[in-house]
């Protein structure tokens, strides 16, 4: 597990600790079965990026942005694939921006999916 205190990435999901407040437009998202899906992967294989306990997830203004409010002592973020290619991250307490990364192609920008 990799400890993250300021910024880091897990596959195509980027985490940045915020110095400013979470925007007022963010809306709280309730946990499902005790976990928050931070970024959807392939629904058939369950390749979601998830966090559990001690975390509040708030949706952003677009489908690439979310916010986390993490309580002490922090939270582990895991990639839900059986043959996991991404090591778990441990995010420190505080407010975090969660962004799906994007890439430029000849047809324009698209969301990165690995």
Mean pLDDT (the chain, rounded): 78
* DSSP labels, 46-66: T--EEEESSEEEEE-SSTTEE
What is the average per-residue pLDDT within 71-99? 80
Instruction: Give, in order, the Cα–Cα distances in Å from 98 to each of 44, 76, 83, 105.
Output: 23, 14, 23, 22
CA 92 to the chain's CA centroid: 13
pLDDT at 71: 87
The residue among 112, 31, 111, 110 whose CA lies nearest residue 68 is 31
What is the average per-residue pLDDT within 60-74? 85
d(CA 34, CA 82): 19
Q: Would you list the domain boundaries of the chain?
A: 2-111
- The structure tokens 């559990």 sit at 52
Task: Take residue 85 and report the two structure tokens written for it.
Answer: 């290619």
- Give the confidence band of 65 by pLDDT, cuts at 50, 70, 90: confident
Report pLDDT digits (tens) over 97-111.
Answer: 988 866 667 786 555
pLDDT at 104: 65
Report pLDDT digits (tens) over 49-62.
Answer: 667 666 777 788 78
């Amino acid at each position: 597990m990799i400890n993250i205190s300021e910024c880091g990435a897990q596959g195509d999901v980027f985490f940045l600790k915020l110095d400013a407040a979470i925007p007022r437009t963010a809306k709280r998202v309730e946990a499902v079965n005790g976990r928050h899906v931070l970024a959807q992967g392939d629904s058939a294989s369950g390749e979601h990026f998830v966090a559990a306990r001690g975390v509040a997830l708030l949706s952003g203004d677009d489908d690439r942005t979310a916010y986390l409010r993490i309580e002490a002592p922090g939270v582990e973020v895991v990639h839900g694939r059986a043959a996991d290619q991404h090591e778990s991250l441990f995010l420190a307490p505080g407010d975090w921006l969660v962004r799906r990364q994007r890439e430029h192609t000849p047809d324009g920008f698209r969301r990165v999916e690995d």
